[in-house]
Amino acid sequence: MQSLIQDIFLKTFSNSILSQLHDSAVVPIEGHRIAITTDSYVVRPLFFPGGDIGSMAVHGTINDLAMSGATPLYLTAGFILEEGLPIETLQRVVTSMAEAAQKASVSVVCGDSKVVDRGKGDQIFINTTGVGQVPEGIDIGPPHIQPGDRILVSGDLGSHGIAVMSVREGLSFASDIVSDSAPLHRIVADLLQQGISIHCMRDLTRGGLASALNELAEISTHKFMIDESRIPVQEPVRGACEVLGLDPLYVANEGRFVLLVPANEIEKTLSALRQHSVSKLAIEIGEVLSSPPSHSPPVTLRTVVGTNRILDLLSGEQLPRIC
């Protein structure tokens, strides 16, 4: 997937904004900086503990805007419906979406729906595109990452992916795991209002923490060191991952993000994050290396047993259709 995106989309749609590879594109309109992001949601099943495709399509797109520091303003909703979809299912998803948007104070301002023949879709696919505004003076993104920056995660990892898998695979032992799907824009707004100098943020969706860190290391051309023992993973999630042969660092989250801030901002940042229930488990997990050996990998994991290992990008998708 990574090579598909690199090879086809980036080369073919070549332009300076797209090639920044940020969670959302920041573009100028009349001197204002407008953030735009798009995501299609194909999660299976549609409903899972802690959320559904509708609320997730709102949270995921809001979060991509928030990661550039933007205030989410407007959402669009594009539905691809499979013929024969029960109308009650559609109503339930749309209601959940509308509630999530209302809670997050964003408006769904336009929409579209297409119906495809039975067997040519899978109940409901949703695209949401978000438009937001980046406040004056805020500039957050991979180019601002600096050696010595501290790396934080906003909470425990893997709940979303495992919650979806538990329903899909009928894993009864994982039935108490609830998706972390949540909007993050109010937390980000709070950090910015407190004047915290955030260098970069990224939400930990498809591919989890490991993929996000690898992407950021690659774009910024810096090298990261992460301490495995500090990464929070709930015990039931860890257990489910062991049974399923998954690594929680690669499992998708829908309400977790990584932040890179200067070392002198770390206490203020953690204290601000911990005020919000969604990020109450926020913790420092590593740093951007100041003078890494040239042969060192983009992201190194100091394991719980004290050895170093390469935290690599996965070549394939560990969990398909999780978001």
Residues in contact with a copy of itself by the rule CB under 8 A: 1, 4-5, 8-9, 12-15, 17-18, 24-25, 27, 29-30, 32, 34, 36-42, 73-74, 76-80, 87, 90-91, 94-95, 97-98, 101, 107-117, 119-122, 125, 127, 129, 131, 133, 317, 320-321
Closest CB to a copy of itself among residues 123, 179: 123
- Residue 225 CB, nearest approach to a copy of itself (Å): 30
What is the distance between the alpha carbons of residues 138 and 33, in angstroms, rounded to a whole number? 10
- Smallest distance from the beta carbon of 32 to a copy of itself, in angstroms? 5
CB of 313 to a copy of itself, least distance (A): 16
Q: What angle, 0 to 180 degrees and rounded to 10, lies between the N-to-C axes of helices 53-66 and 185-193? A: 20
Residue placing its CB nearer to a copy of itself in the complex, 148 or 320: 320
The SS3 of residue 63 is helix
Dihedral over Cα of 222, 226, 232, 236: its sign: positive
Q: Cβ of residue 15: shortest distance to a copy of itself, in angstroms?
A: 5
Closer of 3 and 294 to a copy of itself (Cβ): 3
CB of 16 or CB of 294, closer to a copy of itself: 16
Q: Outline where DSSP puts E strands in the chain.
A: 25-29, 32-41, 47-48, 51-52, 71-82, 107-116, 124-133, 150-153, 200-203, 224-227, 257-261, 283-288, 299-302, 308-310
Q: Is 253 or 279 the residue whose CB approaches a copy of itself more closely?
A: 253
Sign, CA dihedral 35-41-47-49, equals: negative
